[in-house]
Amino acid sequence: MAGYQVEPMLESHMAAVMELERICNPAPWSESSFQAELSNHQATYLVATHNTTLVGFAGYWSIIDEAHVTNIAVHPNHRRNGVGRLLMERILEAAKTTDHTCSTLEVRAGNVAAITLYEKLGFVRCGLRKGYYPKDKEDAVVMWLYGLT
Ligand SMILES: CC(C)(COP(=O)(O)OP(=O)(O)OC[C@H]1O[C@@H](n2cnc3c(N)ncnc32)[C@H](O)[C@@H]1OP(=O)(O)O)[C@@H](O)C(=O)NCCC(=O)NCCS
């Protein structure tokens, strides 16, 4: 996609990742959580940049043959440009090439943008966790994508 690059998340991205996380996530992860993810051998995190500015990130945990998408965010000024889709496609490609057969994630039931993006990539709704999010008790939709390999 013109103008956007995807690369592995590094320690040097951390300040920009934290800024983006605070803008995008109603319950932002702490910096120590991201730091732990960078040294977690079961975790893969990517960032998207535009003219060297970090504009998005996404990651997953490898659990046996399942890729559990943990987090994704795109800066509001760069939304609807295909960055979220690009990051998810790269996540799924990475999972596929490392022998994962499926992917799963949880998403707020009211998050139409994310649910629509995931459905476009082939994820289907498979369950609902009532009152899952501690702060506001919003339900979580559980989605799965099978047949990666
Ligand atoms: C969800 C999010 C990552 C999507 O990123 P994005 O870069 O805007 O997504 P894309 O441009 O790749 O959109 C791909 C498709 O998803 C759907 N979509 C994206 N945003 C949408 C919205 N606001 N409303 C409806 N559909 C939307 C569309 O079908 C879109 O395709 P189109 O633009 O051709 O119509 C972004 O909105 C975001 O960072 N939200 C805050 C963090 C978040 O909710 N993360 C998910 C946690 S589970």
Tokens of 132: 């899952």
Tell me which residue has tokens 């998207």: 48
Q: What is the pLDDT of residues 81-126, one digit of tens each?
A: 999 999 999 999 999 999 999 999 999 999 999 999 999 999 999 9
Instruction: Give the model's pLDDT for residue 134.
Output: 93
Residue positions counted in the chain: 149
Instruction: Give the model's pLDDT for residue 2.
Output: 75
Tokens of 87: 């990051």
- Find the residues whose C-beta lies inside 6 A of ligand 1: 24, 72-74, 79-85, 107, 111-114, 116-117, 120
Where along the chain do its domains lie?
A: 4-146
* Helix extents (H) in the chain: 14-24, 31-38, 83-97, 112-120
Q: Does domain 4-146 have CATH number 3.40.640.10?
A: no
Tell me which residue has tokens 């997953």: 60
Q: What is the pLDDT of residues 8-48, one digit of tens each?
A: 999 999 999 999 999 999 999 999 999 999 999 999 999 99
140 pLDDT exceeds 80?
Answer: yes
To the query of whether residue 106 is one of the catalytic residues in this protein, the response is yes
1 pLDDT exceeds 80?
Answer: no
